[in-house]
Every structure is written in C-alpha cells, then in structure tokens.
C-alpha cells in the first residue's frame, strides 16, 4: 500500500468507525444514520475517488479506491459507496462528468443487455441492480450497432421494482423503456465482460474485508466464551475451525489483492486481467460461503440472533456472491478462455502472475 493509500484507508476507516459502527447501526431504529455517513464520505471525496478532478471527482488512483472498498467491507455498511465508485469509474471511462449523490450501475448480470436506440434512448431490463431505490442516477453500459456506450440516467427515467437482498439492502429490477439519458458517450473500448470483471473485483475486495471482520469476531468470541471452565478457543475442534476460517480469509485477500494490483497497473482488459479478476471473484465467493458457515458454527446460537452483528456481515457476503456474475459463471468463462488458448499456453500464463 502506498503512503497515499494509507491516508485514504485511514480516512475511510475513521469515517466508518465514527458513523457506521456495526453494533450502533444494528440497534438503530431508523436509517437516519445513512445521511450523515454519506455526507462525510462525499465530503472526503471517497465516493468519487475513481473520477478525475476534471470530471467532478477526487482524482485518486484505482488502488486508493480499492482501499476504500476494503474498509467498506470490514464495516458491512449498507450504503452504495461501492456502486457509486464503480459508476464514477464507468462514467469517467467515457468522459462523462459524475453528478453528486449516490449512484448505481447496470447491468449487473451477464445475461442482461441494455440497448441504445437510434434516437438516443435506452431500452432493456437489468435485474438485481443494487441500491437502485437509494440512488439518484444510474451509470449504464449500453449496446448499439457501433459498439458499447456509457449512459448517465436519472433514476426517475427508469421503472423500478423494489426488492431486497438477504441482508435487507435494496436490490431492484430496473426497466428502461425508451429512457432518456442525461448524457451518452462511447465506452472507449470497454465491453460488458470488462465491466463485469471490474464489478467482480470490487465485490471480491469487499468480501475479503468482511471476512477479515468476521474472523476477528470469531476469535474474540472464542476467547471470551467459556465452557467447561475454559475458553472454547482452547478446544481443538474450535481451533481447527478458526484455522480454516483464517485460511479462507487469507485466500480471499490474496486473490482479490492480486486482481486489484493488476487492474491498478493497466488500462487493458486482456487475458491476464481476465485470469486475475475471474479468479478473484471465484475464490472470494467460495470463501464467503465457507467463511460464513464457519463463523456461525464458532458462534453457535448467538450468531443467529438479530441482536448480534454477525448477520450484518455473513448475509452480505452471501448476497455479494451473485453480483456481477457468480463463481459458477466465471469458472465456466475462465475454463473456456484457458481451453481456447491451448494447453501449451496454460503454464506460461499462470507462471507470469
């Protein structure tokens, strides 16, 4: 992590700790806390970290933005900071100014496709769009006969069917019926696969952060919980589970960190980026499933109560697995990509990482 990355991460951590403490939020009677948190994040330039200052953003590097995502994952805060970061990045690739306020992105599923019509409007449906009911704008990757384009759509121009994730966060179906965008521009070579890969790495980084948090919770609980006159952390079976959880956390961190580092040092979504990003989403999603199960097993019955905060992390971990392509989708795509290159290219590709 660079010195600037340290400053960004520390700033994000301080804001989240002050305004999005998981236990405080879990006990809150309303969502009023979200406004103060968003204002602080926006004032610090963290929500548009990936947008150049010439386009209304903070002009930070990709690595700085990934640090923000890691912190957001460690707090599991239900605000669209990740979605706004990704929307800003997508808009900036097309030279479109990012507006203030929360944003989200579409499409987030590989099978969904938005069409840019000849009259400049958008048509199509995007399912499972995160935080659509809390966003002011949607950054859309749309397709036309002359290639992919990026469009900025006010939320009122689309038809939204509200839904919820396992964790209770907004997850909506969005229909564009001749929706008129604020601005449209060429995506500068960015296609839907590249966009989904970027979103997948974003979720992998958040997943690694949340897994770090639940590992710390599990270790702390195991040391505090006493059974048969000694902490349960002294029992071999519990130690084994904690070691397994630590292994899953380490795997998610290494895979997502490697992908983030690769993306931070290139503008080209080639086979190397595909390998890193797809592998990160696959491994982080697998770790989310295993890590959530282990953490709940260590905590026992208390881990399933609403009053305890473990669910704030594990339910989001499980929900994030499906965003921007689940691990099954990317495993198939990665296998097809490797097979197409041929057996002789497999080892050189792996060894180059």
CATH number at residue 196: 1.20.140.10
Reported confidence tier of residue 335, pLDDT bands at 50, 70, 90: very high
pLDDT at 333 over 60: yes
* pLDDT of res. 97: 96
- DSSP structure string for 71-123: HHHHHT--STHHHHHHHHHHHHHTTPPPPSS-EEEE--STT--EEE-TTS-EE
231 in a structural domain: yes
Same domain, 180 and 208: no
* pLDDT of res. 350: 79
Same domain, 184 and 199: no
Reported confidence tier of residue 349, pLDDT bands at 50, 70, 90: confident
SS3 category, 252: helix
98 in a structural domain: no
Same domain, 204 and 149: no
96 in a structural domain: no
Closest C-alpha among 266, 255, 265 to residue 334: 255
Among the three residues 189, 212, 233, which one is the final residue of a domain in this structure?
189
Domain count, the chain: 3
Among the three residues 163, 189, 215, which one is the final residue of a domain in this structure?
189
Angle at 49 between CA 35 and CA 113, to 5 degrees: 85
Of 8-12, 80-84, 187-191, 273-277, the least confident: 187-191
86 in a structural domain: no
Closest C-alpha among 222, 315, 236, 240 to residue 26: 315
Q: State the chain's mean pLDDT as an integer.
A: 95
Q: What percent of the chain has pLDDT over 70?
A: 98
- Mean per-residue pLDDT for 68-75? 97
Same domain, 333 and 196: yes
Reported confidence tier of residue 1, pLDDT bands at 50, 70, 90: low
Q: How far apart are CA 225 and CA 231, in angstroms?
A: 5
Cβ neighbours of residue 62 closer than 8 Å, sequence gap 6 or more? 50, 89, 260, 263, 264
The helix-helix angle for 236-264 and 62-75 (nearest 10°) equals 150
90 in a structural domain: no
pLDDT tens track for 148-162: 999 999 999 999 999
pLDDT tens track for 114-172: 999 999 999 999 999 999 999 999 999 999 998 999 999 999 999 999 999 999 999 99
* pLDDT of res. 352: 75
Same domain, 112 and 177: yes
Cβ burial of 52 (10 Å; 0-12, 13-18, 19+) is middle
85 in a structural domain: no
Same domain, 285 and 203: yes
Q: How far apart are CA 280 and CA 320, in angstroms?
A: 13
* pLDDT of res. 281: 98
Same domain, 60 and 108: no
The helix-helix angle for 192-224 and 81-93 (nearest 10°) equals 160
Same domain, 149 and 200: no
Same domain, 213 and 140: no
Same domain, 185 and 196: no
pLDDT at 2 over 60: no
Please give the structure tokens belonging to residue 211: 């897994």
Same domain, 54 and 126: no
pLDDT tens track for 220-229: 999 999 999 9
Asked whether 152 and 99 are in contact (CB, 8 A), the reply is yes
54 in a structural domain: yes
87 in a structural domain: no
Reported confidence tier of residue 5, pLDDT bands at 50, 70, 90: low
Same domain, 245 and 345: yes
pLDDT at 3 over 60: no
Domain that holds residue 146: 103-189
pLDDT tens track for 272-325: 999 999 999 999 999 999 999 999 999 999 999 999 999 999 999 999 999 999
């Amino acid at each position: 992590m660079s010195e600037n990355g340290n400053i960004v991460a520390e700033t994000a951590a301080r804001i989240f700790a002050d305004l999005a403490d998981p236990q405080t939020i879990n006990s809150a009677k309303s969502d009023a806390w979200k406004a103060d948190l968003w204002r602080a994040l926006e004032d610090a330039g963290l929500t548009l970290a990936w947008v150049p200052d010439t386009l209304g953003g903070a002009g930070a590097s990709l690595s700085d933005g990934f640090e923000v995502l890691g912190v957001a994952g460690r707090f599991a805060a239900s605000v669209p900071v990740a979605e706004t970061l990704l929307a800003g990045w997508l808009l900036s690739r097309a030279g479109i100014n990012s507006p203030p306020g929360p944003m989200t992105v579409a499409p987030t599923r590989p099978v969904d496709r938005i069409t840019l019509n000849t009259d400049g409007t958008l048509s199509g449906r995007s399912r499972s769009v995160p935080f659509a009911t809390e966003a002011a704008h949607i950054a859309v990757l749309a397709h036309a006969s002359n290639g992919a384009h990026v469009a900025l759509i006010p939320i009122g121009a689309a038809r939204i069917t509200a839904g919820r994730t396992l964790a209770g966060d907004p997850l909506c179906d969005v229909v564009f019926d001749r929706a008129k965008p604020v601005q449209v521009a060429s995506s500068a070579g960015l296609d839907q696969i590249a966009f989904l890969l970027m979103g997948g790495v974003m979720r992998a980084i958040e997943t690694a952060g949340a897994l770090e948090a639940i590992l710390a919770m599990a270790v702390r609980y195991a040391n505090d919980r006493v059974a048969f006159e000694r902490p349960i952390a002294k029992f071999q079976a519990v130690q084994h589970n904690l070691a397994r959880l630590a292994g899953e956390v380490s795997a998610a961190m290494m895979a997502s960190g490697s992908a983030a580092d690769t993306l931070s040092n290139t503008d080209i979504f080639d086979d190397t980026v595909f390998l890193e990003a797809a592998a990160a989403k696959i491994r982080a999603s697998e770790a989310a499933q295993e890590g959530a199960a282990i953490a709940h097993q260590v905590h026992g019955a208390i881990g399933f109560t609403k009053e305890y905060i473990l669910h704030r992390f594990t339910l989001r971990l499980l929900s994030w697995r499906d965003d921007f392509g689940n691990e099954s989708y990317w495993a198939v795509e990665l296998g097809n990509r490797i097979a197409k290159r041929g057996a002789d290219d497999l080892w050189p590709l792996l060894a180059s990482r």
